[in-house]
Amino acid sequence: MASPARTTAHIAPVEDSEESVVETSVMESAQESSSETAARPEELRLLEALLFASTEPLEESALAKRMPEGVDVKKALAQLQADYAMRGVNLVRVASKWTFRTAGDLAWLMTRESTETRRLSRAAIEMLAIIAYHQPVTRAEIEEIRGVVTSKGTLDVLLETGWIRPRGRRKTPGRPLTFGTTEAFLSQFSLEALGDLPGLDELKGAGLLDTRLPGGFAVPSPSDDPALREDEDPLEPGDLELALAPAVEPENEPEKSGES
- pLDDT tens for 66-113 read 999 889 999 999 999 999 999 999 999 887 899 999 898 888 888 887
Q: Nearest Cα to 89, choosing from 62, 107, 73, 76? A: 107
- Could you give the CA distance from residue 223 to residue 232 in angstroms, rounded to a whole number? 15
> What is the CATH number assigned to the segment(s) 122-244?
1.10.10.10
Specify the pLDDT at position 260: 38
Specify the pLDDT at position 86: 92
**Domain 25-105 shares a fold with domain 122-244:** yes
Specify the pLDDT at position 181: 92
Specify the pLDDT at position 220: 76
Write down the domain spans for the chain.
25-105, 122-244
- Contacts of 82 by beta carbon, 8 Å cutoff, 6+ apart: none
The pTM (predicted TM-score) of the whole model is 0.48
Stretches where the chain sits below pLDDT 70 are 1-39, 200, 203-219, 240-260
CATH architecture of 25-105: Orthogonal Bundle (1.10)
- Strand boundaries in 84-130, DSSP class E: 89-94, 97-102
